[in-house]
Amino acid sequence: MSPWSAAALGDTLANIETPALVLDLDAFDRNLKRMQEALSGCNIRLRAHAKSHKCPEIARRQVALGAVGICCQKVSEAAVFVDAGIADVLVTNQIASLAKARRLASLAHKARMGVLVDDAQQVMWLQQAAADADVSLDVYVEVDVGSGRCGVAPGDEAVALAMQVDRSKPLRFAGLQCYQGAAQHMREPAQRQAAIAQASEWACMTRDAIVAKGVACERITGAGTGTFWHERDSGVFNEIQAGSYIFMDRDYSDNQSAAGDCAFEHALFVQTTVMSQTKSGRAIVDAGLKASSVDSGMPVVWQRPDLTYIKASDEHGVLALTPQAQLSLGDVLWLVPGHCDPTVNLYDELIGIRQGRVASIWPISARGALL
């Protein structure tokens, strides 16, 4: 990591060294509040996804505002948040070895821990690890409700796995993971609505089939920032796992929206500096693909429609300028990352801005927690 911090508390924007990951704290606060409002009075829990921020300071704020706990994607990521005092963590992923199951089980001495399964072998690893550690684990059967990635098919396969979990003390069958990831970035509102209607139907059918076998199915969990109001209104889901709503990236803002959709603001930016300008109509900034992940496309330059970020190399970004654009060496710009999650994962600190000054510097403690 860098031997020094990009900023100090009280710095002006001009004094922040770049590239740096900055958070507009007012926009962030409004995003937190909007999510709570969107779920209030619905009997739907928020379990915020911490894979987006990897930052205990943010998780604490989400829990303080009413989130039941968090999701993580990796066991080592979960360990960071458990160590930071988060009391209820669901690892929304499968575990593929007994060694990793033991890592997970050890965390259950300090927090309520949940995990997904889509295979009988995973259940056996978890059962052995939990028994040896003398803990209980919440186990959710992942159902593929359209993502086409992990998860068993809705219906019989899910029922069989749920019954295996239910028999496998000290595991506790907690419910179904029904995340429709493929729907999150469908551009048209009607596509997203239809995808979640289908996912909800499969989730409902699977839940009812499990209950018909005499096994309780407490929780139907899933949803993301692009669709969660449909899950909220489905009558089936009772927990929401949105994560990106706190930041919002370019890819999410490329979704078209319809009346009734829940909208959030861009709050996360990469601050960058113009470092070279030797050609007409072009400029080079100091934030490349090691500063803003390009897996979902290029970042956009915030509030500068005269500038287009057209190409990223490792440590350089190429801007195209309109003929009218005014830009000079040393100028500071903000980029909206194409994809917030992997961009956050490139930084060790998140610099909070309020009224034009650095108001907080939060460690991104689970950055690089891949295991």
Q: What are phi and psi of 220, to 5 degrees?
A: -115, 110
CB of 95 to a second copy, least distance (A): 7
Out of 68, 76, 233, 261, the residue judged to bind a second copy by CB under 8 A: 76
Closer to a second copy by Cβ: residue 257 or 276 = 276
Task: Write out the H or E segment, with its range, that includes residue 171.
Answer: strand 171-177
Q: Is 123 in the site for a second copy (CB under 8 A)?
A: no
Query: Coil, strand or helix: which one is 317?
Result: strand
Question: Helix H segments across the chain?
Answer: 25-39, 56-64, 75-83, 98-107, 120-133, 156-167, 189-212, 228-232, 250-253, 340-344
Which residue type sits at 278? T
Residues contacting a second copy: total by CB under 8 A: 73
Out of 38, 86, 104, 152, the residue judged to bind a second copy by CB under 8 A: 152
Residues of this chain, 344-363, that bind a second copy according to CB under 8 A: 345-348
Residues of this chain, 45-74, that bind a second copy according to CB under 8 A: 51, 73-74
Q: Is 303 in the site for a second copy (CB under 8 A)?
A: no
Encoded one letter per residue, x for contact with a second copy by CB under 8 A and - for no contact, window 166-195 reads: ---------------x--------------
Checking phi first, is residue 281 left (phi over 0); if not, alpha (psi -120 to 50) or beta?
left
CB of 74 to a second copy, least distance (A): 6
Q: Is 367 in the site for a second copy (CB under 8 A)?
A: yes
Q: Is 122 in the site for a second copy (CB under 8 A)?
A: yes
CB of 230 to a second copy, least distance (A): 21
Encoded one letter per residue, x for contact with a second copy by CB under 8 A and - for no contact, window 12-51 reads: ---x-xxxx------------------------------x
Checking phi first, is residue 172 left (phi over 0); if not, alpha (psi -120 to 50) or beta?
beta
CB of 258 to a second copy, least distance (A): 26
Burial-class residue 43 by CB neighbours within 10 Å (0-12, 13-18, 19+).
Answer: exposed
Q: Is 113 in the site for a second copy (CB under 8 A)?
A: no
- CA distance linking residue 251 with residue 253, whole number of Å: 6
Given the DSSP bridges, would you call strands 88-91 and 112-117 parallel, antiparallel or unpaired?
parallel
Bridge partners (DSSP) of residue 115 are: 91, 139
Q: Is 150 in the site for a second copy (CB under 8 A)?
A: yes
- CA distance linking residue 114 with residue 311, whole number of Å: 41
Of 168-176, 197-205, 259-267, 291-299: span binding a second copy (CB under 8 A): 291-299
